[in-house]
Structure 1
Amino acid sequence: MLQNFSEINRRLSTYAVVPDNRFRTQSGASEQEESIKQKVRQYWADESISNKEKLKGFNLDLSGFDPRNTTNRKLREIGNVLVDMGIIDYGTSGWLSGIDLDFDAQGNEISLDKKVDMYDYFERQLGFLNKHISEGHGFASDTLTKLKTVMSVTLALEEHGNTPRERSLVNIRT
């Protein structure tokens, strides 16, 4: 799958930090792909950067966005915009828009419009992953790293949706 790496590299060109191996996973991706994905995960975990800055340029109106009551179709729409802008990679977008998806016998998605509660999903996944981490399963640590990135993106999107929109036009009638 062709990645949005050039857009991510452009967007994160000024984000210069020492790569932290806590954000590296065993995804089977090439070295270049994995290093870019690692940088995206590290960027989203960096608490010294505000959510507003992380979403800079993201102008999709999310007024009233509620991660406790949304659909995968809405999340996919948001994820596609984030990918196009280089804010997240395709893998993170897949996680974002794959909350409790159901499939038919042919593997087709059948629940894109079903209401989902992202925070409930995160809670269940955290419990599952922590159990498997304590049992020594390596996949769970990698998965937890990816899940935490999606959680950070979700919190930023909720904050963005609850922030009053700034007027972009000047009132010339006054």
Structure 2
Amino acid sequence: MLQNFSIIRERLSNYVVVPDRKFLTDSGASAEEESISQKVRQYWADETVSNAQKLKGFNLDISGFDPRNTTNRELREIGSVLVGLGIIDYGTSGWLSGIDIEFDAQGNEIGLNNPVDMYDYFERQLTFLSGCITEGRSFANDTLTKLKTVMSVTQALDERAKRPPPRALVNIRA
């Protein structure tokens, strides 16, 4: 886990902002780890940074990616690459690849290849969390902050998947 944080720290070294406490959650991690995760969440919420910049260095071909029809296996693969590049932290990757995940009686994950609609999942979770916030349940604000980060990552991936691939620098047909 610390390896990912050193990559994130390096990647976000030029992203200098005053830490906003609304992105601080109670994860149980060390203060240093939580501050890095807080910065990741704040970075993904920052609308002054383009999605293309946030995904800089992410060269996986996701041209067929559709958040309305994907699988947890596909999300897990994308999340692993994003973590490896320091684009997201492990917690965000877990949220990304745990959309409507099912478990058997022994607690093993099943249905990793079942289709999932991420936007439908987000809508259901937002409705649930809104009710919990209204009722004053303390976990809901932390969960909402993490969910919004995953929503931002998903929107960036969706945008990236719909973009035409970059033109090659060399014309191999000439």
Which TM-score applies when normalising by structure 1? Answer: 0.97
Change (3 A) 1:72 1:134: same
Flag structure 2 segments of 5+ consecutive residues without an equivalent: none
Counterpart in the other structure of 1:80: 80
User: In 2, Cα distance between the equivalents of 1:135 and 1:157?
Assistant: 33
Which TM-score applies when normalising by structure 2? Answer: 0.97
| 1:172 shift after superposition | 4.7
| 1:157 shift after superposition | 0.1
User: In 1, Cα distance between the equivalents of 2:72 and 2:8?
Assistant: 23
Q: Is residue 164 of structure 1 aligned with residue 164 of structure 2?
A: yes
Paired residue secondary structure (1:25): coil
| 1:103 shift after superposition | 0.6
User: In 2, Cα distance between the equivalents of 1:34 and 1:40?
Assistant: 10
User: In 1, Cα distance between the equivalents of 2:47 and 2:108?
Assistant: 38
- Hey, which bits of structure 1, 4+ residues long, moved more than 3 A? none
Counterpart in the other structure of 2:43: 43
User: In 2, Cα distance between the equivalents of 1:89 and 1:168?
Assistant: 31
| 1:105 shift after superposition | 1.2
Structure 1 residues 61-86: Cα deviation after superposition (integer angstroms, max 9, x where no partner): 11131100000000000000000000
Counterpart in the other structure of 1:27: 27
Aligned-residue Cα RMSD (Å) equals 1.1
Letter in 1 for 2:145: T
Counterpart in the other structure of 2:90: 90
Aligned length: 174
